[in-house]
Structure 1
């Protein structure tokens, strides 16, 4: 059964419609102001003006030890100058010229690193977004939300950077059973009548197209069932190679990549050869697939933190699953690293609980990565996956003014990243 032939909402229409609505609103308010005071029945007229200037603060971080994950260089008694949310200069104190009136953040005794990136997180509320920032996540990639909340969080971050990380949004999950997510957009509602769910080429394209029309930056899909639900079998495959290829092709037509929830070796192999950008979880990924990933430059985002969390579950099925999967996944991470498969850190946080991204770095280290390379999975490597390697993942001139201060040497003990003592977001010290 195919989706009825009604076109998804146009991205052009959506964006222009927003702008037109804003212009109409501004015109209405201007007209109301021009006609004089409002009557008592309507209340006072209030002009509403959107500040279109780039948000961000100016700040000097001085006196700490700076680590550059890109090179591994360590600078003691460092100074990082951020102006209007962007790094203007970096070096030793005395080598950086500081404009008058710039706020100073003393970092003596601390290590300074770029803000961390969580490459797989589900942010559905403003509280979760704010919590993520306070735990050191200044950049992130969404693992999908049910009703396009991640797209709103992305816009929140652009206008109020202290309240949310810079976010790459995935929109809604391309999955066989959308459930209530068919109510996320009118363009999805025809899918509710499909007896077999979102499986046909037309239905798969429809979800991708609606996502892109809503402004999604990437597409999220799955090849296996979920590990976090005891009634599901994470090794059961839900989409074929052909179906995954349809999703990838629909995304690529608009220049977007695909991240894919996966567990079984066959599922991982089908997803990678279908052309996904990154493999999520991937506990049982095998050597043949890892070689293919290295050849294609496909990333592995193992979400070790989420699998470790299963082991602590009160549900005996989930606890056993976590205890079984975690050592297997750690071995897969080390095999991927040794083969040269790019790795990115992601916590898979959801449901109101934001796990510290530093815990994922700690588990990468426990899997066998050297400390610096473990740190890179949440900085430079994650930035490359998100396509922001020229603006995030380092503290260098022209990069985002996002930083964390930690109480200790992360090269000696990466666990300090779980507890940042200060966070700077776009030049604003939190």
Structure 2
């Protein structure tokens, strides 16, 4: 089970058992015949009963951040010359000096104090679409201000493995909703991520049948993922691929959504074309990723279904600067269309959230995505909510992150300037506190 559950109530989900996965796979044509062999090598059979690490998770010392304006993204309220007290992984107090005086006395002599005068104090930011395949990737994302993320998949379940580090090594990685491996036709080396993926290597046409898609989704669930990632179209950033070609249609996507729903895992879907976007939303996805050519009809459906929109503006607009002429043309063609779609989605009340879609150590600040959302015409506070309160709601953590109020988790950033006046300020991160641990402090003398 995910160790994060000790911090975030409600995150524990009934996990699909290994035996249940194999029983469900028995109907697979060409796959079910191999299931019994996988059962014999199940991890549950190999795992030592009662295995438990003898130590206890560390608790970072208290932190007091004081002197800057404190913004609550939910209400838009600003407290000047504010104080935030973090202790035992939570917000102990936040507000004016008078309102926090008792909490400051409570941690006196034990706390690290950060003078945020001249900066603005915000809750830790949230990147809802980012790929972290190594600790170095996670460190870059964290130092850029994203204290919580939703994984956009990893190659070998690295996101699942990183998730408990938030308890055992606070400040090492962001809090994480893990997606596991991509539900996509061609797994490549990812087939080595779990022995139960081996049967899928026998499929001549790849993972395309509803049965195979459900099987792959169930393997992800058995690895205790929080969300499932799939696709309707190829990638836009590969010149040899046509991002408007249909990879999975509505029937195939529905097979993924239905299988994921049995494990209480929402689905995020990579899609560019009008047909791909519409089929994904009709299939019941939780969030539409990229969504360049989403139509008014699909946006209306998203409004009625409460589907979230993650436009990942940065990488798509950035294609225009590519030295590859095909990618550069895509950027010029796709950019204006996507920006218009983001503004229209906001006007319709669709929750627009911020995701950088970065890979590896080439980290793009989540603040840059907030700024780009604002540049479409979305008001500054709503753009900021896309990386705070609205994003927290998408992750199912709205009662724990996205605001600095007593009881919320100890994630915080200090930025250089007012985000209400200049969204570019969100890119100028000066301090990052994650899980109560100070991981960046550019203000230290």
TM-score (norm 2): 0.87
Deviation at 1:8, TM superposition (A): 9.9
| Residue of 267, 282, 289 corresponding to 2:276 | 267
**What SS class does the counterpart of residue 89 from structure 1 fall into?**
strand
Runs (4+) of structure 1 exceeding 3 A deviation are 7-10, 13-19
| Residue of 38, 50, 64 corresponding to 2:55 | 50
Runs of 5+ unmatched residues, structure 1: 27-48
| Residue of 161, 183, 189 corresponding to 2:198 | 189
Deviation at 1:241, TM superposition (A): 0.8
Deviation at 1:428, TM superposition (A): 1.9
CA spacing shift, 1:323–1:71, aligned 2, 3 Å: same
The answer on whether the counterparts of 1:56 and 1:161 sit within 8 Å (CA) in structure 2 is yes
The answer on whether the counterparts of 1:9 and 1:213 sit within 8 Å (CA) in structure 2 is no
| Residue of 353, 358, 365 corresponding to 2:374 | 365
Q: What is the RMSD of the two structures over their aligned residues, measured on CA atoms?
A: 1.7
The answer on whether the counterparts of 1:123 and 1:153 sit within 8 Å (CA) in structure 2 is no
- Give the Cα separation in 1 of the matches to 2:391 and 2:406: 19
**What SS class does the counterpart of residue 304 from structure 2 fall into?**
helix
Q: Which stretch has the larger CA shift, 145-154 or 111-120? A: 145-154
Deviation at 1:205, TM superposition (A): 1.3
Equivalent residue, structure 2, for 1:254: 263
Equivalent residue, structure 1, for 2:99: 95
Deviation sequence 1:324-372 (CA, Å, 0-9, x none): 1111100000000000011110000003311100000010010111110
Equivalent residue, structure 2, for 1:4: 32
Equivalent residue, structure 2, for 1:73: 77
Aligned ranges 1:255-404 → 2 under 5 Å: 255-404=264-413
Equivalent residue, structure 2, for 1:85: 89
Aligned ranges 1:34-49 → 2 under 5 Å: 49=54
Deviation at 1:3, TM superposition (A): 1.6
Runs of 5+ unmatched residues, structure 2: 1-28, 440-445
Q: From the CA coordinates, give the structure whose radius of gyration is larger.
A: 1
The answer on whether the counterparts of 2:148 and 2:176 sit within 8 Å (CA) in structure 1 is yes
- Give the Cα separation in 1 of the matches to 2:350 and 2:418: 27
Deviation at 1:2, TM superposition (A): 3.4
Deviation sequence 1:376-399 (CA, Å, 0-9, x none): 000001000010000000001111
- Give the Cα separation in 1 of the matches to 2:36 and 2:236: 34
CA spacing shift, 1:200–1:413, aligned 2, 3 Å: same
CA spacing shift, 1:376–1:15, aligned 2, 3 Å: farther
| Residue of 50, 61, 65 corresponding to 2:65 | 61
Deviation sequence 1:34-80 (CA, Å, 0-9, x none): xxxxxxxxxxxxxxx43246x44411111110000000000001011
- Give the Cα separation in 1 of the matches to 2:233 and 2:371: 27
Equivalent residue, structure 2, for 1:152: 161
TM-score (norm 1): 0.90
2:189 aligned with 1:180: yes
Number of residue equivalences: 403
- Give the Cα separation in 1 of the matches to 2:272 and 2:142: 29
**What SS class does the counterpart of residue 354 from structure 2 fall into?**
coil
The answer on whether the counterparts of 1:223 and 1:267 sit within 8 Å (CA) in structure 2 is yes
| Residue of 227, 233, 248 corresponding to 2:242 | 233
CA spacing shift, 1:297–1:106, aligned 2, 3 Å: same
Deviation sequence 1:212-267 (CA, Å, 0-9, x none): 11111100000011101101111101111111111000000111110000001111
- Give the Cα separation in 2 of the matches to 1:231 and 1:218: 29
Deviation at 1:18, TM superposition (A): 5.2
Deviation at 1:158, TM superposition (A): 2.9
**What SS class does the counterpart of residue 277 from structure 2 fall into?**
helix
Deviation at 1:314, TM superposition (A): 1.7
Equivalent residue, structure 1, for 2:12: none
